[in-house]
Amino acid sequence: MNKLTTAFQKNRSYLTALFLSIVTALILGAILMLITGYNPLAGYAAMLKGVFGNSRVFGNTLAKMLTLCLTGLAMAVCSKAGMFNVGGEGQLFLGGLAATMVGVCLEGISPIIAVPLAFLSAAAVGGFYAWIPAMLKVKLNVSEVITTIMLNSVAIYLCTYLTNSGGPLLTDDRGVLGGTEAVPDPFMFSQLIPRSNLSTAIIYSAAIAFICWYVMKKTTMGLEMKITGENSRFAFFSGLKKDKIMVLAMVASGAICGLVGMFEVYGYQQRFMDSISNEFYYDGMLVAMIMNYNPLGIIIMSFFFAVVDIGAGAMELSIGISGELSDIIFAIIIFLMAAEGGITKFLNERKARKEAQK
Amino acid sequence: MEQLAQVFNIGLLQNTLRTATPVILAAMGGLLTEQAGIMNIGMDGMILMGAFVAVAFSYACASASMGVLMAVLIGILVGIFFAIFVVKLKSDEFIIGMALNTFAGGLTVYLLRSIFGVKGTFSDAGIVSLPTVHLDFLDGIPVLGPLLNDNSIFVYITWVLVFLTWLFLYRTPYGFWLRAAGEHPESLETAGISAQKMKLIASIMCGVFCGFAGAHLSLGYLTMFSEGMSNSRGFIAFACVIFGMANPPKVFLAALLFGFLQALGLRLQNVGVPADITSIIPYLATILMLVYVVVAGDRKKKNKAKKELKNIN
Amino acid sequence: MQESIVKFEHVSMQFPGVLANDDVSFDIKKGEVFALVGENGAGKSTLMNILYGINKPTGGNVYIKGKKVEKYSPSDAISQGVGMVHQHFMLVPSFTVAQNIVMSKEPKKMGIFYDLKAADKITENLVKEYGLEVDGKATVAEISVGLQQRVEILKTLYRGADVLILDEPTAVLTPQETEELFQVIRRIVKEKEMTVIIITHKLYEVMAISDRVGVMRQGRLIGVEETKNVNERILASMMVGREVLFDNIEKTGTPGDVQIKADNLYVADNRGLMAVNGVSLEVRAGEVLGIAAIEGNGQSELLEALTGMRPVARGEFFIQGEKSNGKTPGQIRELGLAHIPEDRMSTGVSLQSTITENLIIGKQKESAFSKYKTHLKQSSIARYAEELFEKFDMRGSGVETRVGDLSGGNMQKVVVAREFSFDTPTLIIAQPTRGVDIGAMEFIHKQIIAKRNEGCAILLASADLDEVFRLSDRIITLYEGKITGEFKAGEIDKMGISYYMTGDRSGGNGGQEGGAENE
């Protein structure tokens, strides 16, 4: 507890800024609702009701939080080592599809064998898809930002082709609707809250989050990643295997994204559809950026994001305000936080100037 | 053979011009910020906002030129907004760019819903599209005639803008200042010109170009607005900037190459290749383009060193 | 001669956490050469940046030609006739000389277009008028540092400057180029009635060129003197506030086996041009081999190649007798080499990390600091960092300070502490005291000699000739990537060696080896 207080004091100005940014963003969101002719109080009330109204929606919120938390950590893991994986969306699609196909093909086999194999395949495929841009970056110095964005589109179009009419992985039992065969019931994670999206994936997610935190904060690997991310020339100079560290961080990031894809399917969707993710990874990225890639911060902030995101969806259904309001609020928080750094510096300089004039 | 003719015909070239134009426009903006030393990955969002505003005002004012004007205006505003963060407050370009894309994606869909009451796509007979240009004297000429005629007016404006961009960068003092602001800002500062101001100007011009790109996308290329219709074109434009080393004619050619590949994809659909597969082509090509730039640059350097060693012998 | 052209009145400059100028008042007279001296961080550059309008003072006023400065900006200073040549050149590398000279005041045609031909013509005329020879059509990236400095001076002259500020102008020049620069200064002062302010910390240059000298220390002006009334000793004690007498550092022992060996080495620079052209050298245990060379003559590339930071184009090199071509810095370190890099900011530290993290890196897998090479032992790491912090006399608010918040001297101590504590038999050291104050410099020099006396083989490169002479047992000169001379300590003096540094193998006097004629 004592440690927590010191951590709080150390980051006091950051946390204050964060709090003020969130409040301001919510106010700006309210103003936007007013301008477009809605009652913001009714909007936010609908939002809260959509999150805390009953155990089912709250379960959905927690499930959403898991997704955001894991994608946020995936972003944090690679950016700590100086790599920007913008391609989590594609890794999520391919990982989800791979895990689904493993499940479908292994029907009848004991879950004790099949489910771990699904884990393995999701992580391997997601990791491999991140390995490509990582190698291009490390060996040829091709910007991973652009290549991962391009690979997103490639993966999504490919999955769309494979699982829709004319595609080889399309199921026969859904008529015109796309999607693969269903994962056999025994392989599915058990639900924690009936009829909600919350499953035992939460346990696996907690384990992944713990590992991320431990590696980043407590191990030689974490230290080496940090040094590589901050100054890769210094890392090379100091004898670190910086290329290996960067590739590894990127592959880990991709593997996590692959697992997120699997959790979506094995948690509740049960079959792979091209609607598996609605830019989940981008939201996770925003969470990670706002929290400065701090693992603990990401876990906390993803709850807030989940509330706004699920709440906004409910708001759209109940009173017709577009759910995209959540994206607007998230972006505003980032702008304000980014501005905060500059504003603080500006204020400090002015203060120094005033002091000198005294 | 028949199938080949169905793919490789005059329509392929026509499509190339059409699909390349928005990318060329955005890439011209992107090369200005690149030359001014700003990594701008927020172009996708800038295009999207331009596209939305263009459709909204074309519909509301029943005038395509009003749509374009407002798209340019919003481009200026977004350019200033971007510059306040990246130039004035020195925020991380990557974060601001990504946030801008998210913001644009969210805001356009939100407004689409609350103003026009539709979800996903807005297309209406009330949207006035941009005029096409027909030059009679081209009619008689084979290939060139059908290729250069009846294009949306923006196709022609774009070619002029490419030339003007080059002229600005390499033949006016302001272009030199802009490039100096990117390459060695301190030297510009000490010569008495604010590098921040040049970066701001580059950012605004980029916003204007992206506004044009958006307007062309929603009023020239198509006549509608749909969710996320920029479709990563901002990123592809960014790749073209790098591929063309931020030099206007080279970037123009890179964007044309991209347009050609996308047009090829559309044509291939005619002979039965699934649309989702052909859609992959431009994205893969962009990656290959980037790899090529680096490999070619490396080889050049290595050859130079080898040649030097030979001279010593 | 007595008319005051620039006047500082109670000028103060407060940066966050640092008072860079503290109530500074003095005049500069028209037509004089005024030298401003002081240690690094004494506030000389800050004061001149105020005069040039880059910084707005937080207190006091500046008067130029009797007029109070109201608006601080370079363009206002320029219009008042103030020109400044910065320590780091303010030139755009990809532009031509002419384009750099006319920048911000370009000749135009048709109102908006840049008249490139007229720019060339202007440059030609300026070159003729002032006799500063340079090719206007050459790209700045392709010309030598000495020529770049001329471009800088021409740039200010084109803007009509009659007050010229030169910030550390000789730091990158050879003694010969320095002499040429001084001739130019004397000529423009005499013929064009210019006023020159020269910032430096080389006291013999102050004596050689200036009419009056102002000494600064810790942001304050200590005094202004007529140069003819002072000598180097007086100035030095004013600068540091005490008598400076460098102790003679005792060197003991005799050289042992060869530890570092290079055999006909060729190394390319970043552009793919050959920077090192067939260098062979040997460094033995218990000796310091110093490299004397003007910046950009291949010494940086040579040291980077020997430490694995840069590939070798041809030839071989051996660390501890093992062939090391193609090895990574990590593999070379394992052979027993530590390295103080030339540019500590970009290579020697991670600015965002703490002192502790910067000190531990490279040792994090030792059993004293981690369990099973993975789990970090935080408390023993902290203890170790505290120890080094004490031993290397670092100042600051403790080992958890971010290295980016340290002064240059303390940052360099972090690098030295880390690299020296590897206890390797070989050391490669580049610019060990660049941008470091005299106290820290003395400390680092003593550490280097202590290593030498313990039997370490040390290869040293420095732009500071005094440093090379003080520390080395043997000295080689490099010019355009080739070795032009090799000397034992005491065999040659600074003026003599400068001929070899400029490629004159005869030592400047027709073949008389050693070149130790009178200065």
Please state the ipTM of this predicted complex: 0.88
**pLDDT tens string C193-239:** 899 999 987 778 888 999 999 999 888 899 999 999 988 778 877 87
Q: Report the gap between the CA of A223 and the closest CA in chain B (Å).
A: 23
- Specify the pairing of strand C426-430 against strand C322-323: unpaired
Asked, for residue A323, whether it belongs to a domain, the answer is no
What's the total number of domains in chain A? 1
Residue C388 has pLDDT above 70, yes or no: yes
Closest CB to A328 among B110, B279, B295? B110
Residue C245 has pLDDT above 60, yes or no: no
Question: C6 with C17: CB under 8 angstroms?
Answer: no
Closest CB to C364 among A220, A236, A349? A220
Average pLDDT, chain C: 87
**pLDDT tens string C131-170:** 788 999 999 988 877 888 889 999 999 988 999 999 888 8
Terminal C-alpha separation, chain B: 56
Question: Is C519 exposed, middle or buried (CB count within 10 Å of its CB: 0-12, 13-18, 19+)?
Answer: exposed
Q: What is the pLDDT of residue A349?
A: 66
From chain A, the residues in CB contact with B100 under 8 A are 331
- What is the reported pTM? 0.85
Distance from C-alpha of C155 to C-alpha of A143, rounded to nearest angstrom: 38
A215 Cβ contact partners less than 8 Å away, ≥ 6 residues apart: A221, A222
Which has the closest alpha carbon to C249: C450, C413, C491? Answer: C450
What is the span of the domain harbouring residue B53? Answer: 2-123+152-312
Interface check B197 vs A, CB under 8 A: no
pLDDT confidence bin for A231, thresholds 50/70/90: very high
Asked, for residue A349, whether it belongs to a domain, the answer is no
Asked, for residue A162, whether it belongs to a domain, the answer is yes
Q: What is the pLDDT of residue C510?
A: 44
Asked, for residue B56, whether it belongs to a domain, the answer is yes
Asked, for residue A25, whether it belongs to a domain, the answer is no
Q: Which of B35, B163, B190 to mutate to test the interface with C (most CBs of C within 10 A)?
A: B190
Residue C512 has pLDDT above 50, yes or no: no
Q: What is the pLDDT of residue C311?
A: 92
Q: What is the pLDDT of residue A34?
A: 93
**Under an 8 Å CB criterion, which residues of C touch B?**
52, 54, 73-75, 78, 84, 86, 88-95, 99-100, 103-104, 106, 108, 112-114, 116, 155, 266, 268, 271-274, 277-278, 313-314
Q: What is the pLDDT of residue B273?
A: 87
Q: What is the pLDDT of residue A13?
A: 76
- Specify the pairing of strand C322-323 against strand C314-319: antiparallel
Q: Do A230 and C352 touch (CB under 8 A)?
A: yes
Task: Please identify among residues 174-193 of chain B the ones whose CB lies closer than 8 Å to any CB of chain C.
Answer: 175-177, 179-180, 183-184, 186-193
Closest CB to A237 among C341, C365, C374? C341
pLDDT confidence bin for A235, thresholds 50/70/90: very high
Share of chain C above pLDDT 90, in %: 50
A64-68, B284-288, C294-298: range with highest mean pLDDT: A64-68
Which has the closest alpha carbon to A79: A249, A223, A212, A199? Answer: A249
Which has the closest alpha carbon to A115: A128, A97, A102, A98? Answer: A102
Q: What is the pLDDT of residue C516?
A: 38
Other C-beta atoms closer than 10 Å to the C-beta of C173 total 17
Q: What is the pLDDT of residue A127?
A: 97
Residue C511 has pLDDT above 50, yes or no: no
Other C-beta atoms closer than 10 Å to the C-beta of A120 total 15
Gyration radius (Cα) of chain B, Å: 21
Q: Which of A215, A234, A349 to mutate to test the interface with C (most CBs of C within 10 A)?
A: A234
Half-sphere exposure of C371 (CA within 13 A, CB side): 5
pLDDT confidence bin for A174, thresholds 50/70/90: confident
Residue B289 has pLDDT above 80, yes or no: yes
Residue C518 has pLDDT above 50, yes or no: no
pLDDT confidence bin for A353, thresholds 50/70/90: low
**pLDDT tens string C284-307:** 999 999 998 877 789 999 999 999
Q: Can you tell me the mean pLDDT for A246-261?
A: 97
- The continuous run of DSSP H or E covering C198 comes out as strand C195-200
Chains that contact A by 3+ CB pairs under 8 Å? B, C
**Residue of higher predicted confidence among A341 and C323:** C323
Residue A138 has pLDDT above 90, yes or no: yes
Average pLDDT, chain A: 90
Q: Can you tell me the mean pLDDT for C308-316?
A: 93
Query: What does DSSP assign to residue B137?
Result: G
Q: Do A352 and C16 touch (CB under 8 A)?
A: yes
Q: Which of C58, C306, C360 to mutate to test the interface with A (most CBs of A within 10 A)?
A: C58
Q: What is the pLDDT of residue A354?
A: 66
A137-146, A182-191, C172-181: the lowest-pLDDT one:
C172-181
Asked, for residue A354, whether it belongs to a domain, the answer is no
Average pLDDT, chain B: 89
Phi and psi dihedrals of A247, rounded to 5?
A: -65, -45
Q: Do B290 and A328 touch (CB under 8 A)?
A: no
Asked, for residue B146, whether it belongs to a domain, the answer is no
Tokens of A68: 């955001």
Asked, for residue A236, whether it belongs to a domain, the answer is yes
What is the span of the domain harbouring residue A282? Answer: 65-292
- The continuous run of DSSP H or E covering C197 comes out as strand C195-200
**pLDDT tens string A280-299:** 999 999 999 888 888 888 99
**Residue of higher predicted confidence among B124 and B142:** B124
- The continuous run of DSSP H or E covering B3 comes out as helix B2-7
Asked, for residue B133, whether it belongs to a domain, the answer is no
What's the total number of domains in chain B? 1
Q: What is the pLDDT of residue C519?
A: 32
**Residue of higher predicted confidence among B8 and C470:** C470
**pLDDT tens string A95-123:** 999 999 999 999 989 999 999 999 999 99
State how far the alpha carbon of A231 is from the alpha carbons of A145, A249, B281, in Å. 18, 15, 36
Distance from C-alpha of C34 to C-alpha of C47, rounded to nearest angstrom: 14
**Under an 8 Å CB criterion, which residues of C touch A?**
12-17, 19, 58-59, 307, 309, 328-331, 333-334, 339, 341, 346-353, 357, 360-362, 364-365, 370, 373-376
Asked, for residue A40, whether it belongs to a domain, the answer is no
Q: Do A146 and B238 touch (CB under 8 A)?
A: yes
Asked, for residue B128, whether it belongs to a domain, the answer is no
Asked, for residue B141, whether it belongs to a domain, the answer is no
Q: Can you tell me the mean pLDDT for C167-178?
A: 78
Question: Strand, helix or coil at C215?
Answer: strand
- Specify the pairing of strand C220-226 against strand C67-68: unpaired
Q: What is the pLDDT of residue A77?
A: 95
Q: What is the pLDDT of residue A167?
A: 83
Q: Report the gap between the CA of B147 and the closest CA in chain A (Å).
A: 30
Asked, for residue A335, whether it belongs to a domain, the answer is no
The CATH number of the domain holding residue B43 is 1.10.3470
Q: Can you tell me the mean pLDDT for A187-207?
A: 90
pLDDT confidence bin for C517, thresholds 50/70/90: very low
Q: Can you tell me the mean pLDDT for B48-62?
A: 95
Question: C83 with C255: CB under 8 angstroms?
Answer: no
Q: Report the gap between the CA of C308 and the closest CA in chain A (Å).
A: 8
**Residue of higher predicted confidence among C362 and A3:** C362
Question: Is A113 exposed, middle or buried (CB count within 10 Å of its CB: 0-12, 13-18, 19+)?
Answer: exposed
Q: What is the pLDDT of residue A166?
A: 81
**pLDDT tens string C481-505:** 999 999 998 888 777 787 788 776 6
Q: Can you tell me the mean pLDDT for A176-202?
A: 88
**pLDDT tens string B164-217:** 999 999 999 999 999 999 999 999 998 889 999 999 999 999 999 999 999 999
pLDDT confidence bin for A326, thresholds 50/70/90: very high
Tokens of C497: 């060696």
Q: What is the pLDDT of residue C17?
A: 62
**pLDDT tens string B226-257:** 998 998 899 999 989 988 889 999 999 999 99
Residue A26 has pLDDT above 80, yes or no: yes
pLDDT confidence bin for C515, thresholds 50/70/90: very low
Residue C247 has pLDDT above 70, yes or no: no
Q: What is the pLDDT of residue A352?
A: 63
Our separate counts of H helices and E strands in chain A read: 14, 0
